[in-house]
A and B are shown apart, each in its own frame.
Chain A
C-alpha cells in the first residue's frame, strides 16, 4: 500500500532561523502533494500544495520543493516564528483516486524564542 513517511519526528529551531521539514513517499502515481499544519487542539490547516509537474512553489514565508526522482518533498519555512510551532504533515493524492488524502506521520516543529 501507499506509504508516506517523515525523516525527523521533532525539529527544534531558534526563532528567526529557517526550518526545513522533509517527507519521503513511495507511490510515484501521485499528482498532488500538500503540506498541512496542525496546532494543538485543532484540525489540520492547509499550508501549500504542489502538483507533480512542478518542482518548486513559493508562498508567504514557505517554499515547497518536490524531487520526483528520489520521491522526496520538503517544506521550508523562512524566519521561523513562535506561531509556527506545530506538527507538520505531508500528504498526497493518488492519481485517479479522487480527493482523498494519504498523510505522512508528522514532524513536530518547536521554535525556541
Chain B
C-alpha cells in the first residue's frame, strides 16, 4: 500500500458526460501528479500540482482539468467524454517537487466510456 488513495476504483459512463476523479496523497506529501494509462498511449503524464498550485503540464486535453485543494487532495475533471478517454488514471504523490523526489502511485481509477 503506497498510502495514496484514489476514488472511485471503477467508473462507467457515457460519451459526452463529465466525471471527477479524486486523489488523496500520502500524509505530508505536497505534490500530486496525474497520469493516464491507455492501451495505445501507455503511461502518460497529465499534470502536476504542488501545494495547491499547478507546476507542470503534460499531454492533457483541454477537456480535462485538475485542481489541488487546501487539504492537498486533488481532483481530475474529465468532460465531454469520448470513447478514447477510456483508460486507467493514476495519481501519484511526492513530498516535494524536485527531481530527487520519489513518486508514490495510487491504485488507479479505471474509466470506461461507453
Contacts and interface: CB of A to CB of B under 8 A. Distances in A.
Contacts of A31: 99
A46 B100 CA distance: 13
Given A44-B90, A103-B42, A97 B103 contact: no
Contacts of A44: 43, 90, 105
A98 B48 CA distance: 10
A93 B56 CA distance: 13
A39 to B, nearest CB: 11
Interface residues of A, number: 23
Contacts of B31: 99
A101 B94 CA distance: 12
Interface string B81-114: 0000000001010100111111111111000000
Interface string A80-113: 0000000001010100011111111110000000
B55 interface: yes
Contacts, number: 62
B48 A43 contact: no
Contacts of B8: none
Contact of A43 (B42, B45, B98, B106): B106
Q: Which of A89, A93, A100, A102 has the most CB of B within 10 A?
A: A100
The 8 closest A-B pairs by CB, nearest first: A43-B105, A103-B43, A100-B45, A93-B99, A98-B56, A44-B105, A43-B90, A100-B56
Interface of B: 2, 4, 31, 33, 35, 42-45, 48, 55-56, 58, 90, 92, 94, 97-108
16 contacts: A32-B99, A32-B100, A43-B4, A43-B92, A43-B105, A43-B106, A43-B108, A46-B103, A93-B99, A98-B99, A100-B48, A100-B58, A101-B33, A101-B103, A103-B43, A104-B42
